[in-house]
Every structure is written in C-alpha cells, then in structure tokens.
C-alpha cells in the first residue's frame, strides 16, 4: 500500500463523514448562501477541526465565491489548501524525528493512561529499525507488571531488545540502565516507555521530571525528544493534556493515535494550530507499520479528497 493510500485508509472515518456532508451542502444549491456556509461551519466543527481552522476555511470559501464567483466544487480544494497551511504553520517544518548524528538519540514517550504509549514506542523502534538503525526499548512503566510483559512481547515480535527492571522498581533506575545498555551497543535510538499518568496529578508529573533528570545526567541533551501520545478519540480534552504535560516536561512533539477509530480526526489540525507543537507521527491502526510520519499535505488530501 502506498503512503497516501495508508493515510486514506486510516482516516476513512473522518474523510467519509466530511465528504458526505460537504457534498450534500454543495449539491443542494448552485451557489453557497449564508445558510450553506453556516452548515459548512457546523460540519467542520463536528469533525473537531476547531474554531480557528474552521473560520479560516469558511472565510476562504466565502472569499472565493465573492471575488471569483467560484464553483461549488472548489470547497474541497479550498479546505485542502487551508488545512495544509494551518498544519505547516503549526509544525514550523519541524516534524521529523530528531537524530543525534553518529550517536544515541533518547526519546521519552509520555501521556495519560491508555493513549497508546507502549504500542507507539514499539512501532517507533520498528520504524527506525526498518531504516537500518539500531533501536532499544526501555520498559520504564514499572507501575504495572503487565506493562513490562507487554513491551517484552512487542520486543520479541519485532526483534528489538528490551531493557526492563523488576515490577515496582524505580523507573529512573531502569532508564539509567537502559541508556548504559544503548551506549554499550552503539544503538541509534532508545525509546523509553513510561507509565500512563494524569496530567493533573502533581506527584506523578514530578516523577516524570525526575526520570528526565536522570536521563540528562547520564547523557547530556537526553531526552532529546519528549513525545506526548494523544488518543484522537478523546477529542478536545487532548488539548488540556498537552498544555499540562508541556508545563511539566517541555514537549518536542506530539503523536496522535487511533485516528482510524474516529470521525473527528480534524482534532490534529486544532491541536497543532492552538499549541504550536509539531505532530510528528500519527497512529492509523494496531499493526507495527500503522504508525506513519506526519505529512501535512497528505493529511489534508486524505481528509478532503472529493
Ligand atoms: N486502532 C488503533 N488502536 C491503537 C492505536 N495505537 C494504540 N492502539 C491500541 O490502544 C490500546 C492501548 O495501547 P497501549 O500502547 O497499551 O497504551 P498505553 O498508553 O501504553 O497504556 P498505559 O500504559 O496503560 O497507560 C491497545 O489496544 C493498542 O493496540 C492506533 O493507532 N489505532
Ligand atoms: Mg503502556
């Protein structure tokens, strides 16, 4: 499957709903009147594109009609263009995974419970491994016994080594051992799977700060990436999660998972526009290669293909 096909398949629910409703609006009347534009606005808000991006699209559609007497079919093209612009402005061309040249890159994977951190850490290891780089996984969710097992199973399946401690062990000490192991093996990437935590729990956020301090003491600059994993099906609550995590542990990027399971995939646009943090990867399914590097153009096309 080509990359665009993958995006399209993964975003089918959002695309299906948007395309169906926009078609209904534009085929009903030959010219878009105020009522149609209001309906268009409601459809975009319904897909969680957020107020700012929605206004931008609706205004662009209105302008095009007023100044060029545009054709109804232009709505899709205008939406694609505006969404791509929003996404590119938000990411500031910074959506690639950081790489320390010739050395180890430490990537900490954080987020609230159940967003897809462990799965995503494994998928990321798989991705860099497919680029002929050496990846290692650190099982730093020592809070649940099953979490360590889950990561080990992924490691066995993808042939990636997992550094783990005992259940209940100090997560920071596992992280410490994992960096040492990664350096000894001359690994290119260490992906640190952390325990799920609520962004409102101060002590749990402090624990995460400690984990990052330990990483930084052992290797200057680490963690090089702090990626917050957001579940697309939680909608706009993800915005609060991102703001609070960013206050406690400055984030370098976002990963939005489970986009295949929602018709509100527009939240990616709202989040990037409002937070100014780049979305670096998106999760489009449960298989290892369902994690895709984010691409603004492809995303906009998959959402608003006619
Ligand atoms: N459909 C779909 N499911 C996903 C995606 N990413 C993760 N999942 C599923 O979401 C569920 C939770 O994933 P985990 O990786 O265990 O989440 P977690 O954040 O590590 O959870 P905790 O460690 O409990 O906080 C699993 O069933 C995953 O298979 C995705 O992109 N699409
Ligand atoms: Mg987990």
The pLDDT value recorded for residue 276 is: 86
Q: What is the DSSP string of 161-178?
A: EEEE--TT--HHHHHHHH
The pLDDT value recorded for residue 32 is: 83
Helices (H) and strands (E) in the chain, counts: 12, 8
The answer to whether the CB of 288 is under 6 A from ligand 1 is: no
Q: How far apart are CA 53 and CA 245, in angstroms?
A: 24
Q: Which residues of the chain have pLDDT under 70?
A: 69-73, 92-93
The answer to whether the CB of 115 is under 6 A from ligand 1 is: yes
Residue from 136, 158, 163 nearest 148 by CA: 163
Q: Are 80 and 304 in contact (CB under 8 A)?
A: yes
User: Which residues make beta-bridge pairs with 230?
Assistant: 256
Which residue among 119, 144, 233 has the greatest number of ligand 1 atoms within 8 angstroms of its CB, and so is best to mutate? 119
The pLDDT value recorded for residue 61 is: 93
The pLDDT value recorded for residue 2 is: 80
Tens digit of each residue's pLDDT (9 = 90 or more) over 61-82: 999 888 776 565 589 999 999 9
The answer to whether the CB of 264 is under 6 A from ligand 1 is: no
Q: How far apart are CA 58 and CA 73, in angstroms?
A: 14
The pLDDT value recorded for residue 107 is: 98
């Amino acid at each position: 499957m080509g990359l665009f096909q993958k995006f399209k398949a993964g975003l089918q629910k959002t695309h299906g709903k948007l395309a169906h409703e926009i078609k209904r609006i534009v085929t009903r009347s030959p010219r878009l009147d105020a009522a149609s534009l209001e309906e268009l606005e409601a459809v975009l808000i319904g897909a969680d594109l957020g107020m700012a991006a929605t206004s931008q699209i609706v205004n662009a559609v209105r302008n095009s009609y007023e100044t060029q007497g545009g054709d109804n079919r232009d709505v899709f093209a205008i939406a694609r263009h505006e969404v791509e612009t929003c996404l590119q402005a938000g990411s500031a061309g910074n959506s690639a995974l950081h790489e320390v040249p010739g050395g180890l890159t430490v990537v900490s994977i954080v987020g609230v419970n159940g967003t897809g951190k462990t799965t995503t850490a494994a998928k990321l290891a798989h991705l860099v491994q497919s680029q002929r780089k050496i990846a290692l996984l650190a099982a730093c969710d020592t809070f649940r016994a099953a979490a360590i097992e889950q990561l080990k199973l992924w490691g066995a399946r993808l042939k990636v080594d997992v550094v783990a401690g005992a259940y209940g062990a100090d997560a920071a000490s596992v992280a410490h051992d994992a960096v040492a192991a990664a350096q000894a093996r001359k690994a290119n990437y260490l992906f640190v799977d952390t325990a799920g935590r609520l962004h409102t729990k101060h002590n749990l956020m402090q624990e995460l700060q400690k984990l990052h301090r330990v990483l930084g003491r052992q290797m200057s600059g680490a963690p090089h990436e702090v990626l917050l994993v957001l579940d697309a099906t939680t909608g706009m609550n993800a915005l609060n999660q991102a703001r609070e995590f960013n206050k406690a542990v400055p984030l370098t990027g976002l990963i939005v998972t489970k986009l295949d399971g929602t018709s509100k995939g527009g939240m990616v646009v709202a989040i990037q526009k409002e937070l100014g943090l780049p979305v670096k990867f998106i999760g489009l399914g449960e298989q290892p290669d369902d994690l895709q590097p984010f691409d603004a153009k492809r995303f906009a096309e998959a959402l608003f293909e006619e």
